[in-house]
Amino acid sequence: MVCRQYYVSIVMRVLFLALSCLLFFYIIFRIPNYSMIFLAAAMVVYSIVSLVRYLNKINQKLENFFLSHLSGEVNYTYVPVGRSDEFNKLYSYFNQINQKLEKARIENEIRNNYFKTIVDQTSIGLISFTGDGRVEFINDAAKRIFKVFVVGNLKKLDIFHEGFSEFILRLEPQKLELTSVVVDGETVQLSIKKVDFKAGDKHIHLISLQNIKAELDQKEMESWQKLIRVLTHEIMNSITPITSLVNTISRIFKNRETGDITKPEHTTSQAIEKTVKMLDIVEGRGAGLVQFVNNYRDLTKLSKPQLMLINVNNLLLNVQLLFAEQLKEQNIRVLISCHRTIHIQADRKLLEQVLINLFKNAMEACTGRQDSLIKLSALSGQDKTIIEVEDNGYGIPPVVAENMFVPFFTTKEKGSGIGLSLSRQIIRLHGGSLNYYSVPGQKTIFTIKI
């Protein structure tokens, strides 16, 4: 028993009260003496008061214990009054409970400080808020992005971009969004993602913000450098021979030393014939440049996809049928793996253009291989449909892998270099992605996710 002395003390007081009551009634009925009756009544009152005070004493101790914990003073120490105090054991238990609670509090505080330090030191901004836009927490990284010290409500962020708070509140959970804000006259590119969770009975939203302007600027610079390098290469390939041929023609009909033009009667038929041939070459290279410009214009003038419900299996069969004769001539086998019930929302013409380009590349990669095989497959997931074009051709060498989707980059003698770049743009317009995986000499897989 936790408090044996307390139990014995209660029993003794109750017995004393009972005996006092018996004595009081005995004196009234057997010894009608006012002095003794008064004395017995005093004993009864004293017994009642003593019992009540004793019970209030333990109630007060329990109340103090619970109030100290409700107020957060778990480090309070209970000291017994004396060795014979009936609550010594209870005090001991109280102190043990306090020690455990204090230890748990310290551990929680250390853990919270640890996580707070991590959250504050990360370069990713974090803001938690309720459904009405009231900000619960904002870390140092988010404060640095917006150059603020306190944010009580998301509406305060509207000064950086009109309607920014509504944009954040309407964000779909787990979906990455890109937006821009203006902070101190400087445009900041933000990558934003939101997650929802419950903290007790409260529904909390948490967004992560990352300033990706430097990364975007770096990628933009790299893209421009690659594009300029390819454009320069393509233009120089045409301009250099044209310049050389023009100089040759000039030497035929013009004296380099005097600058005099050769008279018609001094012109031989061989010179004229040679000139015509060179002009044909110049015309061909000029036409190539015109085609190059037209290709560039096509690359930058893609229209918005006209979405419709498409049966993917029928689409793959149509692509195979378009190349049926060439497949037969080159002895290339084609395997199609797609359930007939798979449908997607897409622009049929644009998506077919992408698949034709990928299929044609796969055929070219299989040229000269005896066991050539192209696989067309599709798989429907929860929120995306995956379409793959796989071949067992020569693959993509690592040295050209990073430039595969750069406009006008090509390793083919007669290639334009816009097929894969155009295909990726088309898929991105559908809200999807186009990527590849290649093991040179074994297989190459182009994957479309829409």
CATH number for 358: 3.30.565.10
Answer yes or no: are the C-beta atoms of 343 and 309 closer than 8 Å: yes
CATH number at residue 158: 3.30.450.20
Same domain for 339 and 385?
yes
Same domain for 288 and 323?
no
Give dist(CA 416, CA 313) in Å, integer: 30
Q: Reduce the secondary structure of 328-394 to three states and give it as a string.
A: HHHCCEEEEECCCCCEEEECHHHHHHHHHHHHHHHHHHCCCCCCCEEEEEEEECCCCEEEEEEECCC
Same domain for 335 and 416?
yes
Same domain for 135 and 175?
yes
**Is residue 181 included in any domain, yes or no?**
yes
Whether 220 has a pLDDT exceeding 60, the answer reads no
Give dist(CA 422, CA 59) in Å, integer: 82
Choice between 225 and 10, residue whose per-residue pLDDT is larger: 10
Query: What mean pLDDT do residues 37-65 have?
Result: 80
Answer yes or no: are the C-beta atoms of 127 and 209 closer than 8 Å: yes
Whether 78 has a pLDDT exceeding 70, the answer reads no
**Is residue 113 included in any domain, yes or no?**
no
How crowded is residue 114: how many other Cβ atoms within 10 Å of its Cβ? 10
Same domain for 144 and 183?
yes
Same domain for 69 and 97?
yes
* pLDDT-based confidence at residue 217 (cuts at 50, 70, 90): low
Answer yes or no: are the C-beta atoms of 114 and 106 closer than 8 Å: no
SS3 416: coil
**Is residue 112 included in any domain, yes or no?**
no
**Is residue 193 included in any domain, yes or no?**
yes
Same domain for 421 and 322?
yes
Of 15-19, 276-280, 329-333, the one with minimum mean pLDDT is 276-280
Tokens of 100: 């455990």
Answer yes or no: are the C-beta atoms of 190 and 180 closer than 8 Å: yes
Choice between 40 and 218, residue whose per-residue pLDDT is larger: 40
**Is residue 115 included in any domain, yes or no?**
no
Choice between 312 and 116, residue whose per-residue pLDDT is larger: 312
Query: What mean pLDDT do residues 261-284 have?
Result: 74
Question: 69, 102, 135 — which closes off a domain?
Answer: 102
Answer yes or no: are the C-beta atoms of 43 and 23 closer than 8 Å: yes
Tokens of 142: 């988010």
**Is residue 114 included in any domain, yes or no?**
no
CA end-to-end span of the chain, whole Å? 71
Same domain for 41 and 85?
yes
**Is residue 9 included in any domain, yes or no?**
yes
* pLDDT on residue 108: 79
Answer yes or no: are the C-beta atoms of 278 and 245 closer than 8 Å: yes
* pLDDT-based confidence at residue 361 (cuts at 50, 70, 90): confident
User: What is the percent of the chain where pLDDT is above 90?
Assistant: 2
Q: Which of 284, 274, 277, 299 is nearest to 237 (CA)?
A: 284
Of 44-48, 83-87, 368-372, the one with minimum mean pLDDT is 83-87
Query: What mean pLDDT do residues 184-194 have?
Result: 81
* pLDDT on residue 355: 87
Question: 183, 211, 239 — which closes off a domain?
Answer: 211
Tens of pLDDT, residue by residue over 277-323, are 777 777 776 776 676 666 556 655 666 788 889 898 988 888 888 78
Strand 373-380 to 333-337 pairing: parallel
* Mean pLDDT, rounded, of the chain: 77
**Is residue 442 included in any domain, yes or no?**
yes
SS3 140: helix
Query: Crossing angle, helix 312-322 and helix 348-365, to 10 degrees?
Result: 50
Q: What are phi and psi of 378, to 5 degrees?
A: -145, 145
Beta bridge partners, 178, equal 191
Same domain for 87 and 164?
no
* pLDDT-based confidence at residue 70 (cuts at 50, 70, 90): low
* pLDDT-based confidence at residue 416 (cuts at 50, 70, 90): very low
Question: 300, 330, 361 — which closes off a domain?
Answer: 300
pTM: 0.46
DSSP state of 412: S
| CA count, 13 A, side-chain hemisphere, 270 | 0
Same domain for 331 and 353?
yes
Answer yes or no: are the C-beta atoms of 47 and 17 closer than 8 Å: yes
Same domain for 230 and 295?
yes
Whether 382 has a pLDDT exceeding 50, the answer reads yes
Count of domains for the chain: 4
Tens of pLDDT, residue by residue over 233-255, are 656 766 777 777 777 777 777 76
Same domain for 173 and 286?
no
Full domain range(s) for residue 319: 308-449
DSSP state of 396: -
